[in-house]
Amino acid sequence: MNDNFDCTQFITFSYEGTGNIDRIIRNTFRGSVFNVIRSDEMRPVKKRYFKHYLEEFFFELAYDEFMGEFEDWDNENKPTPLLELFTEKLKGLFLLHPIKKAKIILVNFAEEGKTNDEFVYIERSEIYSGLFKMSRHNFGSWSDTLILELSD
């Protein structure tokens, strides 16, 4: 059996600034339910699984209950409060810092060679519609893992 993992979320991106990106990410999510984990602190299976999608920086935004928000999200125009918080923190991060090639990765379950991934390219202004693809109420397609690449 291969290693696997579930119920987590990540961001990966390139950074063109001079500030300490670890500190910037931690400050962005400080006071929220998300625990920021740097790539060198992650289980190796997570980095292996996403190796084809990774940019210069890779952070896990760990909160085991977050994927449950997608079960409750039944109207794309009315995200749950936690989904709003997550999205607004990301938008603020992208607005205030020179971040390029950003990807948001959402994981229900991931196992090498077993699970399916959906890769979607979206405009930064369309984060909510991209995230809604993970909702149980999205009757388009649904996947174990969603990778949203955001436009620069």
- pLDDT, tens only, 7-36: 999 999 999 999 899 999 999 999 999 999
Q: Please classify residue 28 by burial: count the beta carbons closer than 10 Å to its beta carbon, then call 0-12 exposed, 13-18 middle and 19+ buried.
A: buried
Whole-number Å distance between alpha carbons of 34 and 38: 13
**133 vs 119: CA distance, rounded Å:** 11
* % residues pLDDT > 70 (the chain): 97
* Domain around 45: 4-150
Confidence label for 126 from pLDDT (cuts 50, 70 and 90): very high
Report the pLDDT averaged over residues 86-97. 95
pLDDT tens per residue, range 54-81: 999 999 999 999 999 998 899 999 999 9
Q: Using the CB atoms, write b or e for 131-145: b if 16+ within 10 Å.
A: bbbbbeebeeebbbb
Which of 106, 82, 102 has its CA nearest to residue 93? 102
Question: What percent of the chain has a predicted confidence (pLDDT) above 90?
Answer: 84
Work out how many domains the chain is built from and give that number.
1
Identify the DSSP state of 52.
T
Q: What is the mean pLDDT of residues 34-60?
A: 96
pLDDT per position as a tens digit, 130-142: 999 998 777 666 6
Residue 83 has pLDDT above 90, yes or no: yes
Predicted pLDDT at 137: 75
Residue of 16, 66, 120 whose CA lies nearest to 24: 16
Q: What is the residue type of 40?
A: D
The verdict on pTM exceeding 0.85 is: yes
pLDDT at position 72, please? 86
pLDDT score for 141? 65
